[in-house]
Amino acid sequence: MSKYTFRNSTDEEIKENLTGFGDWIYGVVPEGIFALFFGKVRSRFGVNNSISTDWKWMYSYPVTVEDENGNKFFFRVYHGAGGPSIATPFEELTPEYEMAKNALIEYIERAEPVDYVWKGVYKGILYDNIPVNVTYTVKNGIARVDSEFPEGMYDDEDIENFM
C-alpha cells in the first residue's frame, strides 16, 4: 500500500479541481459519531472559514492527498444533508483514487478529536418548516449532541401532528 501525505488544498488546487460527486462516510449512526468526526477533521486540518451554523452545510474542507510517487488526489470532506461526506471530482473512481479516498478517511478516523462546541440549526427534509436548534460538543474525546425546538415557536400539538 502506498504511503500518503494529507493537507489542506491550496487556492489554486481548489480552483482547478472542484469536487462534485459526494458519498456519505457513514450510514445511519448515532449523531454523536458525526460530532466526533468533525472534531477529528478539525484535529487534522484546523479550523477554516467554511464553518457555518447550517447543519446541512456545517463545514467543507478541500483536501489534497499525495502518494509517494507524487500523484495528487483531490477531495472535499464536508458535512452535508446526510452527515459527514466526501466528494471527489469523478462519479466513478479509479482504483488509485479509491485507495487515496479510503486512506484519507482512515487518516481522519485515527485522529484524536479536538474539543469544540458548535451551535447551529437543522432545517432538513422532515423539518423544513420547523427549525431545530442543534449543539455538538466534544470534550475529552466524548461527544454530546443536544437538539431542541425553539421555545414558543410551536405548541406541543403542532409538533405531535408533525411527527
Cβ atoms of 82 and 11 within 8 Å: the answer is: no
Which domain covers residue 151, as residue numbers?
116-162
- The answer to whether residue 162 scores a pLDDT higher than 50 is no
CA distances from 31 to 28, 144, 146 (A): 9, 9, 10
Question: Are 90 and 12 members of one domain?
Answer: yes
Backbone angle region of 130, left / alpha / beta, with phi > 0 → left and psi within -120 to 50 → alpha: beta
- Residue 148 pLDDT level (bands cut at 50, 70, 90): confident
Q: Each residue of 77-107: pLDDT tens digit?
A: 999 888 999 999 888 889 999 999 999 999 9
pLDDT in tens, 4-48: 999 999 999 988 887 778 899 998 899 999 999 999 999 999 999
Same domain, yes or no, for 29 and 76? yes
Cα atoms found within 13 Å of the Cα of residue 65, Cβ hemisphere only: 26
Average pLDDT value over all residues in the chain: 87
Looking up cell 449532541 gives 145
Number of domains forming the structure of the chain: 2
Residues 130 and 73 placed together within one structural domain of the fold = no
Residue 128: the pLDDT is 57
